[in-house]
Structure 1
Amino acid sequence: MQLHTETWGDGERLAVLIHGIMADHRTWRRVGPALADRGYRVIAVDLRGHGASGRGEYSPALFADDVVETLPTGADLAIGHSLGGLTLALAVERLKPKRAVFSDPAWHLATLPGTDFDAETFARFKQADRKRIRTLNPRWEEADVDIELATLALWDEATALAVAPLIDRDLLPTAPVVPSLVQLADPSFLISPQRAALLRERGFEVRSVAGAGHTIHRDDFDGFMASLEGWI
């Protein structure tokens, strides 16, 4: 499936951005222009079931296939957040970017003790109102709360069913395909300290953004950009 894309800048270097579940290219509203200011042409996708892209069947493999079909190969930089990090990991061998950044990637969706998390519960987040989004993300700018409400309205919650088979599965890559940074929230509910250590052993660079929540680039934009130094 050819995906809807948004582009910033016209630099000689190319960066590609892949958002997480429930979001779309607008989650990168500050990251895209910031990379463009550093000399990149930046392309952000809307994954299938999100934003202005088409709907259909959903699975991590299909998300990855769409990204490969839509984006140029050989980008200087590829960044994937959460589900976008999983998607990038499944596509990276075909996309062949020079460097990859996995921002709090969905490589281990653990059932939290005392919770009844399932795909249906996740899908119901589509009905979240401004108060709930603000409560869950106290550090977000108001513009990001507005965008979250807008993207939820467009999001096909059936994509949550694609996540269900991944719960409690360990999806950590065995080795980086290209030079790779794993950027973590603090704490990360997806990558434990033990798994972070394992990723380092496997050849990934791992950095945490102190105090940042899961959507690091919205929770602490300056910290997000600072943690990319040497990679962008």
Structure 2
Amino acid sequence: MRLPTRTWGEGDRVALLVHGIMTDHRTWRRVGPALAARGLRVIAVDLRGHGTADRGPYGARLFADDLVETLPAAAEVAIGHSLGALALSLAVERLAPRRAVYSDPAWHLPGPGSGFGPEVLARGKSLSEAEIVALNPRWTSEDVANEVAALAAWDEQTAYGIASVYGADLLPERPVVPSLVQLADPSVMISAADAAELDRRGFEIRTVKGAGHTIHRDDFDGFMASLDGWI
């Protein structure tokens, strides 16, 4: 599936941005311009079922295939968040960016027995503005407004389409390209043991102190500082 995209900047040096579940390209509203200011042409997608992209069917490998169909190969850097990081990791060999950044990647989601599963995630569709603020107290009012709009556009069936991911160990065996794993503090996605294992496998690990899961919205400055040497 060809995905809709949003572009900031121009030129031959390209950065790719892939959002997580429940949101869309608007999550990168500060990151896109910041990377463009560094001389990059920045391309952000709306994954299928998100934003203005077409709907279903859904699955992690389908998300990855869409990235390959939509985005240029050999980018300077590719950055994925959460589900977007999972999709990027499944597409990275074909996209072949020079570097990859996986921001709090969904590589080891809790299983349904933990009280977290597709039904729980799908209920996020009905979150009110006040609930979004309560869950994300460090977000700006513009980020909150963007999330309200993104949730209205989101197809919650994506949560069921990735049901096989819950409880699965999807940590990559090795970094296909030089790769940074950027973690929240604490990360609900990557445990300390997983982080140590990823380090052993050759990934660089950096934690943004005090940041929640959506690091680039919780602590934009910390997010950008964590990318030092990678962008």
What band does the TM-score fall into relative to the shorter chain? Answer: over 0.9
Could you state the TM-score of these two structures normalised by the residue count of structure 2? 0.98
Contact 2:184–2:207 under 8 Å retained in 1: yes
Q: C-alpha separation between the residues in 2 aligned to 1:198 and 1:121?
A: 28
**Structure-2 residue corresponding to 1:95:** 95
SS in structure 2 at match of 1:43: strand
C-alpha deviation, 1:215, in angstroms: 0.2
Q: C-alpha separation between the residues in 2 aligned to 1:226 and 1:32?
A: 15
**Structure-1 residue corresponding to 2:104:** 104
**Structure-2 residue corresponding to 1:221:** 220
**Which structure 1 residue ranges, 4+ long, deviate > 4 Å from structure 2?**
none
**Structure-2 residue corresponding to 1:66:** 66
Letter in 1 for 2:34: A
C-alpha deviation, 1:112, in angstroms: 8.4
Equivalent runs, 1:143-222 vs 2, <5 Å: 143-222=142-221
**Structure-2 residue corresponding to 1:7:** 7
Letter in 2 for 1:132: E
Letter in 2 for 1:10: E
**Structure-1 residue corresponding to 2:80:** 80
Tell which deviates more after alignment, 16-25 or 158-167: 158-167
Contact 1:11–1:36 under 8 Å retained in 2: no
Letter in 1 for 2:23: A
Q: C-alpha separation between the residues in 2 aligned to 1:112 and 1:159?
A: 16
**Structure-2 residue corresponding to 1:54:** 54
SS in structure 2 at match of 1:173: coil
Structure 1 portions without partners, runs of 5+: none
Q: C-alpha separation between the residues in 2 aligned to 1:135 and 1:212?
A: 15
C-alpha deviation, 1:44, in angstroms: 0.3
Q: C-alpha separation between the residues in 1 aligned to 2:45 and 2:125?
A: 20
Q: C-alpha separation between the residues in 2 aligned to 1:112 and 1:122?
A: 11
SS in structure 2 at match of 1:62: helix
Q: C-alpha separation between the residues in 2 aligned to 1:64 and 1:107?
A: 14
Tell which deviates more after alignment, 103-112 or 122-131: 103-112
Q: Does 1:118 align with 2:97?
A: no
Tell which deviates more after alignment, 70-79 or 164-173: 164-173
Contact 2:183–2:207 under 8 Å retained in 1: yes
Letter in 2 for 1:74: A
Contact 1:17–1:42 under 8 Å retained in 2: yes
Contact 1:17–1:78 under 8 Å retained in 2: yes
C-alpha deviation, 1:118, in angstroms: 2.4
Identity, in percent, stands at 66
**Structure-2 residue corresponding to 1:29:** 29
Structure 2 portions without partners, runs of 5+: none
